[in-house]
Structure 1
């Protein structure tokens, strides 16, 4: 059982609250899941080209996300089936888990474990639409039942283009961050009722460091990276290799991770974060 899960289980509320918490989340999940199934049926009936993208964004779960979850809660991924799908466009097999299978597994847990898994999921980073809706349901039920939880992980702020063609890159960056024990923060996924700029400032100020992907060269990305630099935050710059030539002059001399595909982006970013963490430990003279 992982450190985060142990802490959430240690602070769990009493049984009557756990039952109400579970019921509220389950009812909300069943409601929005039916809506998503209805939307999928409409796309299937119309033979929409968006169907494959819709299924990938809503029903498929990244293998590393599921493995990390099961390791944290002390279970084996043998509990759910790994799907194998051949993608003709890429001429390769794609492995993933299904949200439905994960939810069925979670529903089979007792109330205490259900609570621990829900709180852990609320603190993880994901781009899956169903899990994003589930995270909001968890937060609503925590508030409704007056359950307070502590944020136990340091955060990393991601500044990048939100264009749809960057979705895979965003997932790769988030995986690299999560793999090193941090929580990824992407401002368009953060729920808030305030103006977005103060929220950006708040998250950058809280972040351990910032990752700025320059691909697309959005003004907001440069602005957020500059703000982080002004706070003496470490900023890791990345950019798709074929777009780096369009970078602003001021950043061209900065050591930037240039990537050709999402796999190289994730691997190189993971190594850069690991090297940065090691350097910080050496500076603090902490044994590791």
Structure 2
């Protein structure tokens, strides 16, 4: 129990009652105080384990995590990218440093989007469930030479891009909303090229965060590899039909008319820089 408190930031309801013993609170007042702690994003109730016994889960007293108390280092790593996998990654670049308490508060706020999670001092690895689909999330705070970055990534597949972007957009909006509480913090948003991530490119290209709020006017090319990429990988609001229509129009404008079967291919062909 001591290790849970000192390294993992886990506090049981019994421990809270012990800390509040001198306050002589009633049961109702204890419940209200716990609700206030959660309301002000100081802690969250720990979700039950995925393999928990459903017959005994109701008898287990709740435990709460206070991210400010976390000192544990990362003990888990993201799963390797498989051939059919896609990693959506958005980076918040914070100039100079991350304000004290920002990442911890974000950790609490994200709990409403998460079903299962593992936490350490500067990171969260979690699973979000949308319908029958499960998405692996990774949120980390990483120090850089002259800044600090909050990295948010979702691992998914091409056929689940719409649902994955739905989760990603919720987390992005929650982060932006939280940053408004620190009006003096200068930051910019970048979208890491999923194509570069899949190829394992050193220092993958980062698109401007403006792509999150607009749809592409034509073909999207990665400036790092000069490969054409699926616009849905960086534009959340692009549907497959819009993508195919814009791609066909752009190719026709540059004098290349794609074959019908080429338009319908899930993985688009590569073009050299001369094509553009």
TM-score by length of 1: 0.28
Q: Whose helix proportion is higher, 1 or 2? A: 1
TM-score by length of 2: 0.29
Q: Whose strand proportion is higher, 1 or 2? A: 2
Which has the greater radius of gyration? 2
